[in-house]
Chain A
Amino acid sequence: MIPLILLLMAVASVDAEPVRVGSKSFTESVILGEIVARLARDTGAQSEHQREFGGTRVLWNALLRGDLDIYPEYTGTIAQEILAGKDVAAGEDGLRAGVEAEGLRMGRPLGFNNTYAIGMREEIADSLGIRTISDLKAHADLVFGFSNEFMDRGDGWPSLRDAYHLPHTDVRGLQHDLAYRALESNDIHAMDLYSTDAEIEYYGLRVLVDDLEHFPTYHAVLVYRPDLETRAPHVVAAFSRLQGAIDGGTMSGMNKRAKIDRVSESRIAADFLDSAFDVSSTVVEITVVDRLLRRTSEHLTLVVLSLVAAILIAVPLGILAARHERLGQLILGIAGVIQTIPALALLVFMIPIVGTQEPPAICALFLYSLLPIVRNTYTGLTDIPHHMRESAEALGLPPRVRLRLVELPLASRSILAGIKTSAVINVGFATLGAFIGAGGYGQPILTGLRLDDMSLILQGAVPAAVLALLVQGLFDVSERVLVPRGLRLDPVD
């Protein structure tokens, strides 16, 4: 125990606050994040890498809030997405001034330009004679599959359509890595690409020429909080070594190693730092069991905290609903409306309110848990036969005592069933927490989708299913303890 405390104190004294690096939910960003984190560590600083933290908005807001210190971004995204609608001068310096006006800092470009592009399978493009984006106009029946981010970004599909006057109507939003597979199976005919995607070569895709020069440049840059310069100036200085150090070929190569050769991002980042800067860093490959345990504890944290909070709030709400008919309809209505909000939307709603990672995930799960518990508490109480309630009333028991001694025990089975429903649903919903950096079983599913790795997807999906079954079993057992024995008997006559 004592050595442990000493160790903790030692760790705390070296650097009270580690450099928190974030990355977006795609391979290139994870590799860049890993490079940044390792480079920081090489200066002697503590650093941690929040992999696959989320999309642009999630990361930018996390940086503004101080949940993160630094993450890799693209100039095009900053111009078109983050600072869209703001008065920003053209060029890199204009952008830098724009970022500073937001209270953050932007480093110099890392080298490569990962712009958007439109890609098709080589043989299809060839047979239709499509070479440029303009050529698409003549083929209105083609089906497009775009990443959700591309569907509504300032420089994404809407402006591309307007710029090229594209007539296509069958345009689907789907996850970027799944789009490659949809393209492969001819479910879609064209998709958005990042020009450094490893899959372009792997799948033999034709990158259509952006003949109207619609897409802006997407130079990778590091964006960070200004306090990092005072807190860890040597770390910021080390980051400047990355300027212009990664060209397009290097980046595509690293992407290919991760996605096609299945090398871990940590290993790729370490190899890059070793060959480019002669910086050696150790790569600890975490065992499957360790990872499973960590994810289980993350997942359980999400489920248990949200469920406990939901029970504490929803049972009293259910009681209130059963007591006052009009208020009851209102409460049940609101809980029902919450249920209809799409899970991802609810998660993203939460970010400006409670930040990133666990809190928004727990809040969202909490909100989803309300309806089953409120409704079952309400139903359990209102289903108590009238004569039973009258018997309790006729005894001369005050309302509170009737509730505690008679009504809640009689409704216990229904209330418990509601809690069970919420718990099982929560185990499933919690996998979405990974989209906003909350970890859990959703993390391997997300990474598996990104890397097109079925075994990784199963590493998340199987434990989640097992946990759901365990939770179900746990509640079946607890029903025997919590539901009074007299309610579980069949009448003798």
Chain B
Amino acid sequence: MKPLLRGEDITIRLSDFHLDHVSLEVEEGDYCCILGETGAGKSVLLESFIGMYPRMKGRIFLKDREITHLPPEKRELGIVYQDYMLFPHLDVYNNIAFGLRKKNLSKEKIKERVHAMSERLGISHLLDRDVQTLSGGEKQRTAISRALVTQPQVLLMDEAFSALDATTREKMRSFIRDLVKELGTTVVHVTHDVDDVWALASKVVVMFDGKVLQSGSPREVFSRPLPGQVANFLGACNVFPATVGAFQEGELTPLLIGKGETALFSADKACPGESVIVSVRPESITLAPHRLNISARNQVPGQIVKTERRGPMVWIHAKTGMGNMKAVLTESALEAMELAPGNEAFFIFKASCLKILSRKDTTRQLIQ
């Protein structure tokens, strides 16, 4: 499939930051999240698509048409900002109708389209309201309506949910997921919130210091983050250097952790004798007070050092023969197992959950 939006070698030099030869492809119907820390260059990249930086180097294509040197009004891209950027001198109706007035439509047609879009976004009762009296969620819906009503080829969203409270943010995620599916809208969404990626993305691009470090489906990127900045940012923990043991074709890959005292198994492939980095996500681990007779091949004994409540979940920190490990459980599961700091526990996970992240050359970077 040909990409709908393509950026080639985009380089932008600003006084205190530069975007460095960034390339990106977004296919029709994709929900692409650009993920990274503050200052990674995500918003600059997004705004380069819309035409904020006319002196940028590189090329941008929409379908097969080069739009690099087109003014923003000719690019057929819509944008929604974190702080909404609703025009404060116009009411909700006129904000949504704003773009339609440049499309040579009759007043009736404009009214019809504004009402249809506002109905779809659940803000039809707010059309007469001053935008400054709206709640954060209502403002965001108005901004999205304004962008979508002109039917842009791609909707660009810059930290669109960051200004919302946690409950509204969750509602907006679910709402946007349904809306873009229904309208078939292609979205490029800049965010630093990993939850946005899990909830919405079909593709994720991870950026650091003005560069794209990794891209792929959320499952690929989260299960095999590049060691170093990407892995750290995505919260990868339980990361260990290992040596691949000998095995037969068709068997699971044996991995010797540390000085070889602990043997684990991974479903990923590697060559015997190779030095690798392995990781298991905390949510893939089950805890038990004793070894279990189940199919999970990896059961690592350890001693619980501390428990840490984060919302409805509890993080378990433990010392094992491989090093420090973390797992995450529900509070009720922890209580049922009667596990507490000082107790012995087994960290149990399947071979398919133990991912080989990289080879030896990046070990030092990862461990740092």
Same assembly: no
A residues sitting closer than 8 Å to B (CB atoms) are none
